[in-house]
A and B are shown apart, each in its own frame.
Chain A
C-alpha cells in the first residue's frame, strides 16, 4: 500500500492545496482499531457459524452485557493508557466502591443514595491519590497502583470483616433508595422480546463520550500528547500533571460506576471479588489497539477489545466447548493483537515522505 502513496499524482504548484490524498487503505490501516475490528468480525462470524445458539438476539445481548461490565471500566483504562499510565487498582476498586456504599449505608442507617455519593467521593479521592503520587514521585504508575491494588484488596476484606463480621456486605435490598439506584445502575428493559441491560446503553454512551473527548477536544489532544511524549507536551504548555491526575480520576469514576452496578444487581458483594479484572481492562485496551507505551489508541478500539473479550468468553460456552480453554484463547488473542498492532504501527509510521 506504500506504493499507492508514491505513485499518487503530484498537484500542480498553482493548485490551492499542495496536499495529496493518501489511499483509503493506508488511512484505514492507520486506525488503531483496524486490527481489532477485523479480529472481532472474524470471531463473530466464526461463532455464528459454529454455535447455533449464538445466533439469537438474546444471546448477542447477553454477550453485550458481559462486554459492558468489562468495557465500561476499560473505556477509562484505555484513555489512561493512551495518556501513558497504568492502573492496576481498577479491578478491586469496583468492589471497594460497592462495599463502601453498602457498609456505610447499612451500618449508619442512611439512605443508599447518600452512601453512593460517599462512595463516589471516596473513589475519586483514591484516583486523585494514585495520580498525585505518580506525578509527584515519578515512580512508574505500574508500581504505585500495584500498591493501591494491594491496599484496597486488603482493606476490602479487613474493613468488611471488621464492620460486618463476615467477608461479604450485608443485603441492602430492603433499604431506602434501593429502588431508584437499582433501576438506574442495574436496570434492564425489553425491546422486541430482547432484554437489554442499562449497562450496555451506558457503555455505548461512555465510549461515545470518550471518542469525542479524545478526537475532538483540546483535552483529548493533551491526553495523546502526555502519553506520546510528556516532556514535549510540558514544553509547549500542556498541563501534564493535571491531565494525568484527571485520567486516574476518570478510571476511578467508571470503576465506581461498575461497582454500583454489581452492588445493585447482586444486593450483596463478596469482599474478595474483582481481583484479576484489572488485567481484563488492560487486555481489552491492548487488543483494541492501544499502545502499551502510550500516545496511541482510540475509544472505539477499546470497546471492540471488550466486545472480543465478551464474545469469546461466552462464545465458547455457546459453542458447548470446555470453557477451561478460555484463558488460553485470551492469551493467544492478546499476543496476536500486540504483534498486529506493532506491525501496523510500523507500516503506518514508516517514513514515506522525504
Chain B
C-alpha cells in the first residue's frame, strides 16, 4: 500500500474508465433505471443530476458493486464487468463517497482513513497494526488536501461536515482510486463548506481521477462539471458536454422543465402568491 499516488501520466482519452451502455435495472416488477449511457474519463467530472427517485442511487450502486444491472453492459477500462461486491469495485479502482460518507463517527480520524485497508505488520490474522505509520500518512494526506485537523486521534464525528467529506475524498484518492463517485457531497452543507468540497472535487479531477458527481444542485454541478446527465424517472432526459449546455438549461431541466412551466401558468391563473411565482419564473427563465 505504499504506492500512494494515482498515475498522472497515463491519462488516456481513448479508453474511458467506465462506459455504461444501455444499462437498466429492475427490482422485481419495478424498473428503477433504463437505457442509461454514461462515460467516465480520467481528468473529467461527469455530473449526474436528478430529483429524488430519479434513479441516481441505483446508478451509483451498480458502479459501486452493491447491485448488479440486468440490462445493457458496463465496461471498466474497456473490459465488460459485473461486480460481485463493493470489494470488487474497490479493487477495480472505483471508490464511492456516500452521502453518509461511510465513516464511523466514534472512531478516530486515522482509523477511519484506513478502515478496510489497514496497514498491518504481517499476513497473520492478528498481527499488529502499523499505528504510527498510519497516523503519519493520514495526517500528511489530509494536509495535502489542505485539511488540518487538530488531532488525528479525535473521533471523526467531531469534525465538520466539510472536513469529513474531505477525509473521505482524501482516503479514496490515497488508496489509488481511478474513479471517484461522490454521492450528493454538498447536499447537507452550507455555502462555505460546499465551496470547500467543490474545491477538493476539482483537485481530485486535476489529480487525474475520473469523478462522478451526483447532485440535485445544478449550480454546484456547473461549477465543476465537464459533462452533464439529467435523469428523470429512471431515464436520461439530457446528456450534454459542457460546451453544449448553459446553466440556465440545466436549472430549467432540473426544476422540472415544461411541467413546471405549466404549473406556473396554472398558479398564475388562480391568482395570488405572485411574488413566489415571479421568482419561480425567473428561475425557469420564463419570459
The answer on direct contact between A and B (beta carbons under 8 Å) is yes
Given contacts A225-B115, A235-B98, A353-B154, contact A217 B107 (CB under 8 A): no
- Complex CA gap A286/B83 in Å reads 41
B2-10, B119-127, B220-228, B247-255: which lies at the interface: B119-127
Residues of A within 8 A of B101 (CB): 232
Q: Is B266 located at the chain interface by the 8 A CB criterion?
A: no
Q: Which of B114, B128, B150 contacts A353 (CB 8 A)?
A: B150
User: Which residues in chain B, 76-102, are within 8 Å of chain A measured between CB atoms?
Assistant: 86-87, 90, 96, 98, 100-102
The answer to whether B151 and A19 have CB atoms under 8 Å apart is yes
Residues of A within 8 A of B126 (CB): 212-213, 217, 219
Q: Is B219 located at the chain interface by the 8 A CB criterion?
A: no
Q: Which of B64, B87, B148, B150 contacts A352 (CB 8 A)?
A: B150
Given contacts A18-B148, A228-B104, contact A233 B155 (CB under 8 A): no
Q: Is A52 located at the chain interface by the 8 A CB criterion?
A: no
The answer to whether A353 and B158 have CB atoms under 8 Å apart is yes
- Complex CA gap A225/B104 in Å reads 6
The answer to whether A238 and B106 have CB atoms under 8 Å apart is no
The answer to whether B155 and A349 have CB atoms under 8 Å apart is yes
Closest approach, in angstroms, between the C-beta of A127 and any C-beta of chain B?
A: 18
Residues of B within 8 A of A296 (CB): 106
The answer to whether B157 and A19 have CB atoms under 8 Å apart is no
Residues of A within 8 A of B44 (CB): none
Q: Which of A212, A229, A236, A348 contacts B105 (CB 8 A)?
A: A229
Closest approach, in angstroms, between the C-beta of B36 and any C-beta of chain A?
A: 22
Q: Which of B104, B128, B131, B148 contacts A229 (CB 8 A)?
A: B104
Residues of A within 8 A of B267 (CB): none
The answer to whether A229 and B159 have CB atoms under 8 Å apart is no
Q: Which of B96, B120, B150 contacts A235 (CB 8 A)?
A: B96
Q: Is A108 located at the chain interface by the 8 A CB criterion?
A: no
For B155, the closest partner residue in chain A by CB is: A349
Residues of A within 8 A of B150 (CB): 5, 8, 19-20, 22, 352-353
Q: Is B29 located at the chain interface by the 8 A CB criterion?
A: no
Given contacts A232-B102, A353-B158, contact A224 B107 (CB under 8 A): yes
Chain B CB within 10 Å, residue with most, of A5, A19, A295, A348: A19
Q: Is B184 located at the chain interface by the 8 A CB criterion?
A: no
Q: Is A267 located at the chain interface by the 8 A CB criterion?
A: no
Residues of B within 8 A of A219 (CB): 125-126
The answer to whether B86 and A237 have CB atoms under 8 Å apart is yes
Q: Which of B103, B148, B163 contacts A232 (CB 8 A)?
A: B103
For B135, the closest partner residue in chain A by CB is: A19
Q: Is B152 located at the chain interface by the 8 A CB criterion?
A: yes
Given contacts A216-B129, A237-B116, contact A349 B148 (CB under 8 A): no
Residues of A within 8 A of B154 (CB): 22, 352-353
Residues of A within 8 A of B90 (CB): 236-237
- Complex CA gap A22/B155 in Å reads 13
Given contacts A224-B107, A295-B107, contact A218 B118 (CB under 8 A): yes
User: Which residues in chain A, 331-351, are within 8 Å of chain B measured between CB atoms?
Assistant: 348-351
The answer to whether B148 and A217 have CB atoms under 8 Å apart is no
- Complex CA gap A57/B103 in Å reads 47
For A209, the closest partner residue in chain B by CB is: B126
Q: Is B149 located at the chain interface by the 8 A CB criterion?
A: yes
Chain A CB within 10 Å, residue with most, of B100, B102, B105: B102
Closest approach, in angstroms, between the C-beta of A237 and any C-beta of chain B?
A: 4
Residues of B within 8 A of A17 (CB): 139
Q: Is A111 located at the chain interface by the 8 A CB criterion?
A: no
What 1/0 flags go to A218-243 for Cβ under 8 Å of B? 11011011001101111111100000
- Complex CA gap A117/B101 in Å reads 45
Closest approach, in angstroms, between the C-beta of B194 and any C-beta of chain A?
A: 16
What 1/0 flags go to A117-151 for Cβ under 8 Å of B? 00000000000000000000000000000000000
Closest approach, in angstroms, between the C-beta of B58 and any C-beta of chain A?
A: 16
Chain A CB within 10 Å, residue with most, of B111, B115, B143, B153: B115
The answer to whether B158 and A350 have CB atoms under 8 Å apart is yes
Q: Is A21 located at the chain interface by the 8 A CB criterion?
A: yes
**Could you tell me which A residues sit within 8 Å of B by CB distance?**
5, 8, 17-22, 212-213, 216-219, 221-222, 224-225, 228-229, 231-238, 291, 295-296, 348-354
Additional pairs, 6, CB under 8 Å, beyond known A221-B129, A351-B158: A217-B127, A218-B118, A222-B116, A224-B104, A228-B106, A353-B159
**Could you tell me which B residues sit within 8 Å of A by CB distance?**
64, 66, 86-87, 90, 96, 98, 100-107, 111, 114-118, 120, 125-129, 131, 139, 143, 148-155, 157-160, 163
Sample (13) of A-B pairs whose CB atoms are under 8 Å apart: A8-B150, A18-B143, A19-B152, A221-B107, A224-B107, A229-B103, A229-B105, A231-B100, A233-B116, A235-B98, A237-B90, A295-B106, A351-B159
